[in-house]
């Protein structure tokens, strides 16, 4: 290795990282009771490397990860990420008889311009895209270091612009400030500062878009540096392997973002995989906040209330491989049920299937059905088009009515 140019410099970096790791260890041991110090030491000890640096050694995971909803959950405002149309025939949203919003593509960027009685009322640039667009996208604009929500969002089922959730639908506004938790759940990192008036300022240069490798595996610069330096080492160092964590730790790592809105006890981005979530935030079931952001489910809460969950060692990875997009594949998901509910085994389905129905083709539409969200309220330009959204319930149970509908829609009958 000594013939490599820059050997000394790299080695020095490793040494520094090593010392920091050791110091970190002492720090954590010495001040174990002081959580914020431990977190601080943790963060300094190991900076982010960026997912592009994982590609060299984990190519398969990297290649599928970059097309996942996680990775695409926040992006810079570029045309390839904005799903709404800027085509002249489709780039307007008529708010009411006096108010119209135009979505424009110009040489300097993308804009939402509100016109009241044909006079410009306010014009702001798309600064960030939130949402991969499975269900919808919303857009943010920057004013100095503060982020605000633009008044017009995008609703995927109808492939059209809509009023941003939470904004009044009668009068146009641009006032909604983006709280830190919004970025905490939709991005990997951002340095935040709470300003004297309580507003949250984001350091845009520190922003890591998307839910990237290091959001789940922890900042990994030391891991990358170590393995580049030691290409024959097959045992991973300086990186969090979720498989080595306890069940609750693994669940908490997903529940951070998949248990609905929570009340934070510590600043956004404090939590890391391996931590205990309740030390950082507590569940905050508030119908009002939920109603304003209807796209947000609580898979953790529903799953953990299921008998299936309580009677087994199941966690999210029992069914999901988060490194790839696995959707609309009931046979694949059913195969994950069958790892515990073997066909012809004692713990399998007690429904006697009518002729023509293969249970193992689709356990989920009967036991984890798509149910209409009660929270959905998105105003469309044509109110008749407003439809309820369907969400996959994570309460695994027996749904007799759903079974009846399922059999009827497949022209089958139990009799
Ligand atoms: C120079 C090669 C190299 C690079 C770059 C690299 N890794 Fe690794 N990584 C390894 C090796 C070797 C292992 C151990 C064998 C394995 O699990 O593949 C490993 C294992 C892992 C594991 C499993 C941990 C365990 O205990 O088994 C995770 C998670 C991981 N890497 C994440 C990352 C992330 C995230 C990045 C990018 C920020 C990254 N790696 C970049 C070489 C690398
Ligand atoms: C930092 C927050 C965060 C963490 C941590 C997180 N998720 Fe997500 N997850 C999201 C967001 C946000 C979305 C929606 C992304 C979008 O479409 O913009 C999502 C989407 C998903 C989806 C739907 C993907 C699709 O292709 O439709 C699955 C499944 C999922 N997450 C599972 C998990 C599991 C399992 C874990 C834990 C290993 C996890 N998530 C951890 C925030 C997170
Ligand atoms: C507690 C974590 C959390 C917070 C806070 C949060 N989100 Fe989400 N968001 C999610 C998850 C998880 C999903 C995917 C939900 C699902 O499919 O059930 C999601 C979905 C979305 C979607 C739809 C994405 C898609 O591809 O369909 C949009 C848009 C969105 N969120 C915007 C926001 C905005 C704007 C804020 C802040 C004002 C915010 N979210 C705050 C976790 C969060
Ligand atoms: C949403 C969270 C999440 C993201 C994002 C994520 N991982 Fe993972 N990763 C996991 C979980 C959970 C496991 C353990 C899976 C299990 O228990 O079977 C894992 C396991 C691994 C492993 C161990 C080998 C294996 O397949 O079991 C490696 C290596 C790894 N991840 C690398 C990466 C890299 C590289 C990226 C980005 C390109 C990435 N991960 C993105 C959650 C994530
Ligand atoms: C027993 C299997 C199973 C377990 C365990 C499980 N899921 Fe799922 N999940 C599914 C199935 C099936 C779907 C639907 C996939 C599809 O639409 O094709 C799904 C969909 C999702 C979606 C997309 C929801 C939507 O309505 O679009 C998210 C987000 C998600 N799961 C998160 C999680 C999280 C977080 C956990 C752990 C708390 C978890 N899941 C545990 C089976 C499971
Ligand atoms: C990790 C193992 C595991 C996985 C994976 C799993 N289950 Fe279960 N499930 C169990 C256990 C254990 C029970 C409790 C059995 C008992 O009490 O007799 C159970 C119970 C159930 C029940 C009965 C619920 C009730 O309220 O009576 C249903 C239905 C069910 N599971 C369906 C599913 C489906 C569908 C999937 C896949 C989407 C699945 N399970 C995945 C272990 C699992
Ligand atoms: C057509 C709908 C349908 C499909 C498909 C289906 N189930 Fe069921 N399942 C039911 C109904 C209804 C019951 C309750 C039947 C009864 O009255 O005992 C049930 C009962 C169960 C139970 C509880 C058994 C008990 O002893 O309490 C389990 C576990 C289960 N199903 C798992 C599965 C698995 C795993 C699959 C896929 C291989 C599957 N089911 C496919 C409708 C379905």
Task: State the distance from the centre of ligand 2 to the C-alpha of 401, rounded, in angstroms.
Answer: 29
Counting ligand 2 atoms within 8 A of each CB, the residue from 72, 130, 258 with the most, and so the one to mutate, is 258
* Cβ-contact 104, 113 below 8 angstroms: yes
Query: Looking at the predicted structure, is the pLDDT value of residue 375 above 80?
Result: no
pLDDT of residue 413: 60
Mean pLDDT rounded to a whole number for the chain? 84
Report which ligand 5 atom has the smallest distance to the Cα of 368.
12
The CB of 339 under 6 Å from ligand 6? The reply is: yes
pLDDT of residue 31: 27
Q: For residue 314, give the ligand nearest its CA.
A: 6
pLDDT of residue 333: 97
* Cβ-contact 51, 212 below 8 angstroms: yes
Task: State the distance from the centre of ligand 2 to the C-alpha of 257, rounded, in angstroms.
Answer: 7
Report, as an integer, the average pLDDT of 156-171: 89
* Cβ-contact 125, 110 below 8 angstroms: yes
pTM: 0.91
Q: Token digits for 368?
A: 């984890």
Give the range among 7-16, 155-164, 216-225, 285-294 with minimum mean pLDDT. 7-16
pLDDT of residue 26: 25
Give percent of the chain above pLDDT 90: 65
The CB of 217 under 6 Å from ligand 4? The reply is: yes
Q: For residue 212, give the ligand nearest its CA.
A: 4
pLDDT, greater one: 373 or 259 = 259
pLDDT, greater one: 265 or 397 = 397
Give the range among 44-58, 176-190, 281-295 with minimum mean pLDDT. 281-295
Give percent of the chain above pLDDT 70: 82
Residue spans per domain, the chain: 74-184
Q: How confident is the model at residue 211 (pLDDT cuts 50, 70, 90)?
A: very high
Instruction: Read off the pLDDT of residues 75-104 as tens digits, 9 standing for 90 and up.
Output: 999 999 999 999 999 999 998 899 999 999
The CB of 240 under 6 Å from ligand 2? The reply is: no
Q: Token digits for 220?
A: 């990994």
Q: For residue 47, give the ligand nearest its CA.
A: 1
User: What is the rounded CA–CA span in Å between residue 311 and residue 330?
Assistant: 23
Q: CA separation (Å) from 392 to 315, 324, 372, 398?
A: 17, 18, 9, 14
Q: For residue 367, give the ligand nearest its CA.
A: 6
Q: How confident is the model at residue 285 (pLDDT cuts 50, 70, 90)?
A: low
The CB of 200 under 6 Å from ligand 4? The reply is: no
The CB of 234 under 6 Å from ligand 1? The reply is: yes
User: What is the rounded CA–CA span in Å between residue 240 and residue 249?
Assistant: 12
pLDDT of residue 82: 98
């Amino acid at each position: 290795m000594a013939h490599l140019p820059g050997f000394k410099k790299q080695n020095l970096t490793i040494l520094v990282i090593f010392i920091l790791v050791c110091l970190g260890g002492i720090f954590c041991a010495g001040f174990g009771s002081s959580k914020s110090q431990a977190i601080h030491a943790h963060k300094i000890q190991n900076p982010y490397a960026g997912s592009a640096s994982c590609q060299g050694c984990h190519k398969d995971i990297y290649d599928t990860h970059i097309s996942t909803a996680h990775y695409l959950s926040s992006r810079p405002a570029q045309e390839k990420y904005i799903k709404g149309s800027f085509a002249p025939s489709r780039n307007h949203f008529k708010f009411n008889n006096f108010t119209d919003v135009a979505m424009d593509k110009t040489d300097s960027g993308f804009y939402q311009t509100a016109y009241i009685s044909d006079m410009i009322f306010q014009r702001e640039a798309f600064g960030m895209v939130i949402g991969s667009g499975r269900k919808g996208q919303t857009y943010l604009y920057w004013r100095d270091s503060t982020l605000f929500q633009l008044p017009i969002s995008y609703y995927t089922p109808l492939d059209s612009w809509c009023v941003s959730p939470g904004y009044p639908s009668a009068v146009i506004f641009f006032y909604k400030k983006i709280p830190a938790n919004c970025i905490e759940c939709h991005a990997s990192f951002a340095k935040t500062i709470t300003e004297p008036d309580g507003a949250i300022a984001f350091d845009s240069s520190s922003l890591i878009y998307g839910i990237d490798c290091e959001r789940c595996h922890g900042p990994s610069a030391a891991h990358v540096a170590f393995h580049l330096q030691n290409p024959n080492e097959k045992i991973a160092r300086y990186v969090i392997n979720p498989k080595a964590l306890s069940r609750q730790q693994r669940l908490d790592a997903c529940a951070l973002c998949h248990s609905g809105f929570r009340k934070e006890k510590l600043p956004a981005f404090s939590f890391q995989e391996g931590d205990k979530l309740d030390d950082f935030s507590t569940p905050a079931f508030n119908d009002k906040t939920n109603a304003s952001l209807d796209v947000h489910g609580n898979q953790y809460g529903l799953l953990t209330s299921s008998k299936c969950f309580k009677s087994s060692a199941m966690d999210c990875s029992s069914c999901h491989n988060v490194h790839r997009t696995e959707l609309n594949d009931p046979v694949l998901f059913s195969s994950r049920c069958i790892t515990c509910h073997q066909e012809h085994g004692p713990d399998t389905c007690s429904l006697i299937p009518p002729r023509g129905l293969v249970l193992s083709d689709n356990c989920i539409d009967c036991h984890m059905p798509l149910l209409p969200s009660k929270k959905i309220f998105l105003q469309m330009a044509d109110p008749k088009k407003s439809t309820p959204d369907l969400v996959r319930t994570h309460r695994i149970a027996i749904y007799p009515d759903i079974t009846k509908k399922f059999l009827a829609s497949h022209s089958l009958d139990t009799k």
